[in-house]
Structure 1
Amino acid sequence: MPYQDLREFVGFLESKGDLRRISAPVDPELEITEIAHRMLRADGPALLFENVVGYDIPVLINLFCSNRRMNWALEVESADELAARLESMIDLVQGGPPSGIVNKLRTLGSLVHVGSYQPRTVNNAPCQEVVLTGDQVNLYDLPIIKCWPEDAGPYITLPLVITKDPETGTQNYGIYRMQVYDRCTTGMHWQTHKVGARHYRSSAERADDRLEVAVALGGDPASIWTGSAPLPPDIDEMVLAGFVRDRGVELTPAKTVDLMVPAHAEIVLEGYVTPGEERTEGPFGDHTGYYSLAEPYPVFHVTTITRRRNPIYPTTFVGRPPTEDYWMGKVTERVFLPLIRLILPEVVDINMPAEGIFHNLVLVSMKKEYPGQARKVIYGLWGLGLLSLTKVIVVVDDFVDVQNASEVAWRVANNINPGTDLIVVEGPIDDLDVASPTPRFGSKLGIDATRKGPEEGYRREWPPDIEMSEDIRERVSRRWSELGLDEIVAPPGR
């Protein structure tokens, strides 16, 4: 059975010895981050701070900070299990009548929307046990943490921000940081290329007075994770959560805005943004490992807060990688690999290493069958959704393990001829890129580190890898005990 809410997952982690309750007083300004950061680096448990100075609401952090906790959160042995389920659905699409990539993707979307994956509407939701309006609305009643010394203030860092496309009515759920300005307003860090920003621009183009927004804090872990998944604008994140959980997410109508919110959230903020109203947001210690600088962003006005009677406040922090978003993103990497293969079938595997913070570096292995195919893969990836923002794409042959960064570095250093194997283009880049002299537009690099042939201008014979012959390997393995080396290292196969 999937977790109904955050509390069930907390109970599960506690039963596994992977959650620690902290009863000593802690300060939400910087101290929680430092404690959580040390726990992360030690592969320690999730933390539930029960005595946050000045507040009567506990703070939960480091919820997803390991592969094991991510697997437990999504109730799988590994993220590849989800990828295999998705791949089986893609096989159904490919075997059916729709022709063309666009039609296949639309059919896949239709398949995902069937049966038990669809959200279910409920009333009398736990997230609305307490309703606060008017002067009762006070964000300072929540133990919102300040993460890093140069941050502009406290930030809500794990919100599920809910908006509706003004044209189609399709809801979107995304994780965007929110700087708290005062009792009832925050910044809304809608980066240029995210769906929430698209809804905001669409609302401005229509000259709407306001765009309604809801923000869910907490909920079942699959729903929280899907807020970070880069889905196409017309695919509902809650349907993906239903697919992951194998059971539909329960939603309930918000009290004062025309949006559906997770019924089992801990806290829900309701309100609006006004198109054209912006305010300086930042600096903020970001997942790049640098502070993102102050810039104007939309303002979120909180008009209502609903919550459980005794809520838990979930939060996270980011900084020099790896931090919690790395483990959340690695699941996305594995789950979305089948969708990449749907369009680029020669792709074998991908790796977005922590140091690349997802948009700076992508390593790709591919089955090469003709000259120039690596370039086709590089350009193809730059044409896929948010992969269009990737600063560096490295392509290697199919037999290279892209999960082994050392092997990739060895292949790249040996295989590239800088005069012919580097592709430099200009295009959209991530809002958080620190190197480009211009924001949101800059240069990107593709590296073809595959083996080259005569048709690609390589006039010599490509040298073979150095490997021991199999008969000698087997002979030495048989003699390993005789050589008296068992106590040092076991022979291959043991």
Structure 2
Amino acid sequence: MAFKHLRHFIDTLEKAGELVRIKEYVNPHLEIAEITDRISKSPDGGKALLFENTGYDFPVLINSMGSYRRMCMALGVQELDDVASEIEGLFKMLSKPKESILDKLAMLPKLSQFASWMPKVISGRGACQEVVMTSPDLGKLPVMTCWPQDGGPFITLPVIHTKDPHTQSRNVGMYRMQVFEKDMTGMHWHKHKVSAKHFSEYKKLNKRMPVAVILGGDPVYTYSATAPLPENVDEYMLAGFLRKKKVELVRCISQPELEVPADADFVIEGYVEADEELIWEGPFGDHTGYYSLADWYPRFHVTAITHRKDAVYPSTIVGIPPQEDAWIGKATERIFLAPIKMTLVPEIVDMEMPVEGVFHNLVIAQIQKDYPGQAQKVMNAMWGAGQMMFNKILAVTDTGTRINDYKALAQYAFKHLNPATDIYFSQGPMDVLDHSCSRMGFGGKMCIDGTARLPEETDDRFDTASFSPEVNIAALRAAFPEIKAVNATLLKLDIPCIVIAVEKDRRNHLRELHPQVYAQPGMEGIKMVLYVEHTVDPMDLPSALWRFCNNLDPKRDNFLAERPSSRNAHKVTACMGLDGTIKTKELDDFQRDWPNIIVADDATIKIIDEKWQKLGLGDFLPSPSLKYKQQIYGQGAVVAL
């Protein structure tokens, strides 16, 4: 379904009971984010929110794609898997041998359909240019400051257009933009991104780089800007495919080399100078749930701002999951399963990205296993595929269990797992937002082979048969005072893994502690111990796993312990320890700053508490930040090194 404009999508959400209009005044500085954080963490992502009274001329739409249903509505489908099925059908049709003239003629209707999805540049101005600011001023837009330690207000849903200076091929991406002046922002594109490559080419030519940013329009534009497409595929072709209607583009007013969707709500035109001094941008409360650290990025100079007469300012917040971006990620997980299967990993059956893994940290792949070493083949293929190169922890399973039943999946994987031989470590490119890497953008990776073992994959030295561990938590804490809490509840589910909260006080503390812990009575049969910071509640498993995944560099932070098997004197059992605690210079020789968890400040929480009954949002929801505040008091914004 093609939405005519953003208000068309808003009307559709409202008719479906998926939107709440908030008429009470709410400040875009911290307050909208605090309300949205409470709503987005309610069951099924809560409702989309339209803030109509912000002190600006434009209402703010947020959390519009923050549920499975709304994500499907944005893409015009009943189920996200419907898109994957259509893509798979197209791949099969295009790759099928054409043996006769009838086979070739049968392709013509589909080729005509392809043409109908291609973007088209139209003459004249579009609705996005109904109003032209005589003096462009970003201060007239309700740009939000989301979190108290953010470097300033950020545009969080910008759809950014650039072109290769040599080929003129277009790239449409999404990179946050910190507003510094009325006509200048940062341009936060990472070195791995296509727009950064375009900028590199402009620098070689010593030419000014034109850039155009849109906000709003059909929500498919926003999604397509986040999609992990190959560099030579136009994002607006994907948008046309999803909406089943070509995207109509108009030329920018001050940057005519670039074209933007005619139905966008806002267009911010400008340029980046090839040789200009960079600007210190950030920090920013990011999708990892931590503040991303400040760094140097290009300056974007605004030359024009245009908008619709009835423009709506779309925004989002990112922070401790779940947030709206989890559902955008779910769409990518489902939609791009078919291309991965058809072009890279033919044995893949399904894929899952748990919310606690914040996209890149944890990915589960289910394969049809036919030969030994196949999980490692899949590991190498996936780590070499586009944005999957940023993946930190990859768990591979086979068709012996359902991938989205996490309990059954863990039982199955741990049943077959030999911690000494079936966990593989590597290193490579990482998301620059990953703070656990010893070097920015480069760190460790781990693949857990949870498939059923074939004879060639077994090591007779190890006893991997199921035990019934009986961990004595009181005895563990008495023997090791640094252990503050233990979650052993997974053992009752036949999952031989425990979570230990520990307070480190010396170098190599956990590397020395782990074999001692594994040597304790009742620990035989435990295959994995996840260590978290002593301020983390290990009984809150989703929260503990989120903290663990963020703070782990698998290659650096693993230690294997062995002990003689009590059932076979000629064999040993093994247990993998993984250190998901905070890393410091004093205890871990960690040379980078360690960011803090994102939480709202007390003043903002109090304002929203007092305002809640006027918002029309139903029963009172306490701030999600409250549960994390005790974990960070006294640490400051960043642990000083």
Confirm or deny a common fold (TM above 0.5): yes
Q: Cα deviation per residue 1:167-215 (whole Å; 9 max; x = unaligned)?
A: 211111111100000110001110221111111122222322x111000
Given the alignment of the two structures, is residue 44 of structure 1 paired with residue 46 of structure 2, yes or no? Answer: yes
Q: Cα deviation per residue 1:135-163 (whole Å; 9 max; x = unaligned)?
A: x1110010000000100100000010010
Q: 1:417-436 alignment to 2 at 5 Å?
A: 417-436=418-437
- Please name the residue that 1:307 is paired with: 307
Deviation of 1:235 (Å): 0.3
Maintained 8 Å contact 1:276/1:298: no
Q: Report the structure number with the largest CA radius of gyration.
A: 2
Q: 1:243-322 alignment to 2 at 5 Å?
A: 243-257=241-255, 258-277=257-276, 278-322=278-322
Q: 1:345-494 alignment to 2 at 5 Å?
A: 345-458=346-459
Amino acid at match of 1:120: K
Maintained 8 Å contact 1:112/1:240: no
Maintained 8 Å contact 2:351/2:365: yes
State the distance in 1 between where 2:322 and 2:98 align. Answer: 44
State the distance in 2 between where 1:111 and 1:227 align. Answer: 24
State the distance in 2 between where 1:91 and 1:375 align. Answer: 26
Given the alignment of the two structures, is residue 195 of structure 1 paired with residue 197 of structure 2, yes or no? Answer: no
Q: 2:221 aligns with which of 223, 228, 231?
A: 223
Maintained 8 Å contact 2:417/2:464: no
Maintained 8 Å contact 1:217/1:266: yes
Query: In structure 2, do the counterparts of structure 1 residues 452 and 462 end up closer, same or farther at CA, with 3 Å as the change threshold?
Result: farther
Please, what is the CA RMSD of the aligned residues?
A: 2.0
State the distance in 2 between where 1:461 and 1:148 align. Answer: 50
Deviation of 1:462 (Å): 9.6
State the distance in 2 between where 1:88 and 1:152 align. Answer: 46
State the distance in 2 between where 1:355 and 1:96 align. Answer: 43
- Please name the residue that 2:57 is paired with: 56
- Please name the residue that 1:330 is paired with: 330
- Please name the residue that 1:473 is paired with: none
State the distance in 2 between where 1:409 and 1:434 align. Answer: 27
Q: Gapped runs of 5+ residues in structure 1?
A: 99-106, 465-494
Calculate the TM-score normalised by the size of structure 1: 0.88
SS at match of 1:34: helix
Query: In structure 2, do the counterparts of structure 1 residues 159 and 113 end up closer, same or farther at CA, with 3 Å as the change threshold?
Result: farther
- Alignment length (residue pairs): 450
Deviation of 1:461 (Å): 12
Maintained 8 Å contact 1:318/1:325: yes
Q: 1:237 aligns with which of 235, 238, 256?
A: 235
Given the alignment of the two structures, is residue 164 of structure 1 paired with residue 163 of structure 2, yes or no? Answer: yes
SS at match of 1:173: strand
SS at match of 2:403: coil
Query: In structure 2, do the counterparts of structure 1 residues 26 and 112 end up closer, same or farther at CA, with 3 Å as the change threshold?
Result: farther
State the distance in 2 between where 1:158 and 1:373 align. Answer: 39
- Please name the residue that 2:142 is paired with: 143
Calculate the TM-score normalised by the size of structure 2: 0.68
Maintained 8 Å contact 2:316/2:324: yes
- Please name the residue that 1:24 is paired with: 24
Amino acid at match of 1:197: A
Q: Gapped runs of 5+ residues in structure 2?
A: 100-106, 467-641
Query: In structure 2, do the counterparts of structure 1 residues 285 and 461 end up closer, same or farther at CA, with 3 Å as the change threshold?
Result: closer
State the distance in 1 between where 2:421 and 2:111 align. Answer: 44
Query: In structure 2, do the counterparts of structure 1 residues 416 and 311 end up closer, same or farther at CA, with 3 Å as the change threshold?
Result: same
SS at match of 2:175: coil
SS at match of 2:273: strand
State the distance in 1 between where 2:167 and 2:443 align. Answer: 32
State the distance in 2 between where 1:167 and 1:403 align. Answer: 45
State the distance in 1 between where 2:173 and 2:372 align. Answer: 40
State the distance in 2 between where 1:19 and 1:190 align. Answer: 32
State the distance in 1 between where 2:297 and 2:125 align. Answer: 35
Maintained 8 Å contact 2:415/2:465: no
Deviation of 1:382 (Å): 0.6
SS at match of 1:430: coil
Maintained 8 Å contact 1:112/1:243: no
State the distance in 2 between where 1:456 and 1:293 align. Answer: 43
Maintained 8 Å contact 2:416/2:464: no
Maintained 8 Å contact 1:112/1:239: no
SS at match of 2:33: helix
Deviation of 1:68 (Å): 0.3
SS at match of 1:181: strand
Amino acid at match of 2:52: E
Amino acid at match of 1:119: P
Maintained 8 Å contact 2:206/2:275: no
